[in-house]
Structure 1
């Protein structure tokens, strides 16, 4: 097994993990308390229909409960969506989140790529629709990982409209959108979200999809029973009602993202604009190894299709951690 993502603190000695992009506040104390107080529930089966959780999500997202489907993280939902559609030919962005490709390969889908260009700061362009001939399915990560940019709203809407006209299943992954000041495509296309990033609940594994009821039913058939644990359901209900936590996290991200981007530029790195809680930058090959010797983990993006060695991604954390990271990085750069 080859691990392709950030957060590998199990095989590395790490004191500062800048490789995973979760809310800088960490898991809410309210979530921890709710899980601890309900630990007796863990001895019985969780609600297979996730009624209370779906009700909470539906209220937050202003949709009907039958438009919400929950999963064991966004990755499980991606695989279930792909199995429900069984696309013969799919169009992906490059670079983008690698789990779309893994899911598509598992069902034998032919994969085509729309390569985002460095000269355009890896931003999605209007000519994406020129690549839609004979395509059955499209995944768009928005904001895109590892770039961090939100697609132009008119461009996104145009893509959704063209896909609808051509009967192409277009799925938007908005796992980072709630940590940014953006928009949602949930009224036009199926949208996937997760508590992983927004509420720093990566270990609990909780994702969801918003879609029309027919598509929800199609995808639900691809999911196992009891796939969302009691702990994840309790944590999710508590988290989604904690508006103060989310707003505080977003404020930290806005302020600290600017701090990190300015400092990286001052150190001579090429930094790409970001709208969310992570930053893509370009530096010397091997920088990640130099930082790991200091027990600091960053995401080497060399294994992203469309990027080379020398591209790195870091998350936005609290100021003290960000300042320490910049001090260590500056020491390495000399």
Structure 2
């Protein structure tokens, strides 16, 4: 079966499963904050109209300057991209023909971008009991590895790895002359996030990917950035086409960086709803990944294959994210975004109905 490779756009999922599209749906498959874009975007949206009559700044200098000030970096240590997907694609081109290690389960586009560019790909598979990052075991696999991909917080598990573990892993990568590529697309959902950005000055092998689309709910605009030493940034930039980022996204990005109170509001909502959902699942004796962010993995241990639960929820207009294209999961779990109280209530109601079947 030709499973869709991403969440969102549920029409493709229903087509693949030969199921009718429900009249009403709640899409839990995309990990976007449930409150939508920051209010400032709606308030100032009219100001964006004039921007479409001219070419955007190909270097995004105003947005990049704000990012550099926020992260205490030089502007030459930042590359802006058309969402995280473009940046991962550029990294794949930079690694063409190299040997790559991916900590799995992980976002499928790392492997896709590397395979397209002729990389040899190996996995370090995490154990699904606690999804722990065993740095010692991983370090043993880094011999003759040119680049390591790690998603932190991890997509799809939502697990967050500590700064001490990451520093240990960075040191091991540096010893092995291995590029350490860390995807932090969901870092801003964490109150307790410990910034790894300052280590860019210390570790020439560190590259950090960030996305603006998750926290600020602007996936339709596409905006992300990567931070690393200047040599890496210059190398990546050499592959990037001109005017890769549109003018509306650049201006929206500036406004999003000013929305600190909004970020706090989202974190509080996600924390409340995650605790409420996890308490419910615990009562129902369902299995969960120990997520710290706005999504999680779920499994009903009473069924060996989660496809019946998946199809049941789809029939109710509840759209989870399948895990068929996550190595090591292959459909054994379902991933859900954390949405608002009303949507989460409907999800819990559907799970209650699933468990109450004769």
Question: Shorter-chain TM-score category?
Answer: over 0.9
**2:265 is the counterpart of 1:271:** no
Question: CA RMSD, aligned part only?
Answer: 1.5
The structural deviation recorded for 1:176 is: 0.4
The structural deviation recorded for 1:2 is: 5.9
Contact kept, 8 Å, 2:33 with 2:214, in 1: the verdict is yes
Contact kept, 8 Å, 2:108 with 2:325, in 1: the verdict is no
- Name structure 2 gaps, 5 residues minimum: 15-20, 201-205
Could you say which residue in structure 1 is the equivalent of 2:334? 312
Q: 1:111 aligns with which of 110, 116, 121?
A: 121
**2:35 is the counterpart of 1:25:** yes
Q: 2:241 aligns with which of 221, 224, 235?
A: 224
Alpha-carbon distance in 2 for matches of 1:229, 1:245: 24
Mean CA deviation greater in 35-44 or 166-175: 35-44
Contact kept, 8 Å, 1:35 with 1:234, in 2: the verdict is no
Contact kept, 8 Å, 1:172 with 1:185, in 2: the verdict is no
Alpha-carbon distance in 2 for matches of 1:241, 1:38: 17
**2:123 is the counterpart of 1:122:** no
Alignment of 1:212-291 (within 5 A): 212-283=229-300, 284=303, 285=306, 286-291=308-313
Contact kept, 8 Å, 2:143 with 2:176, in 1: the verdict is no
Contact kept, 8 Å, 2:323 with 2:329, in 1: the verdict is yes
**2:218 is the counterpart of 1:201:** yes
Secondary structure at the aligned position of 2:102 is classed as strand
Could you say which residue in structure 2 is the equivalent of 1:144? 154
**2:87 is the counterpart of 1:77:** yes
Alpha-carbon distance in 2 for matches of 1:270, 1:83: 38
Contact kept, 8 Å, 2:163 with 2:196, in 1: the verdict is no
Could you say which residue in structure 1 is the equivalent of 2:10? 9
How high is the TM-score relative to the length of structure 1? 0.95
The structural deviation recorded for 1:183 is: 1.9
The structural deviation recorded for 1:79 is: 1.1
Summarize deviations over 1:34-75 as a string: whole Å, max 9, x none. Answer: 333221111211111101111121122221222111001101
Summarize deviations over 1:64-98 as a string: whole Å, max 9, x none. Answer: 22211100110110110121232521100111110
Secondary structure at the aligned position of 2:194 is classed as coil
Summarize deviations over 1:276-325 as a string: whole Å, max 9, x none. Answer: 11111112422121111111100111321001323011111111211121
Contact kept, 8 Å, 1:34 with 1:234, in 2: the verdict is no
Summarize deviations over 1:111-134 as a string: whole Å, max 9, x none. Answer: 010010023x22211221111011
Alpha-carbon distance in 1 for matches of 2:44, 2:228: 29
The structural deviation recorded for 1:263 is: 1.1
Alpha-carbon distance in 2 for matches of 1:161, 1:34: 45
Contact kept, 8 Å, 1:87 with 1:137, in 2: the verdict is no
Alpha-carbon distance in 1 for matches of 2:10, 2:52: 27
Alpha-carbon distance in 1 for matches of 2:68, 2:39: 23
How high is the TM-score relative to the length of structure 2? 0.89
Secondary structure at the aligned position of 2:140 is classed as helix
- Name structure 1 gaps, 5 residues minimum: none
Mean CA deviation greater in 91-100 or 177-186: 177-186
The structural deviation recorded for 1:149 is: 0.6
Contact kept, 8 Å, 1:24 with 1:252, in 2: the verdict is no
User: Number of matched residues?
Assistant: 333
The structural deviation recorded for 1:153 is: 2.0
Alpha-carbon distance in 2 for matches of 1:2, 1:79: 21
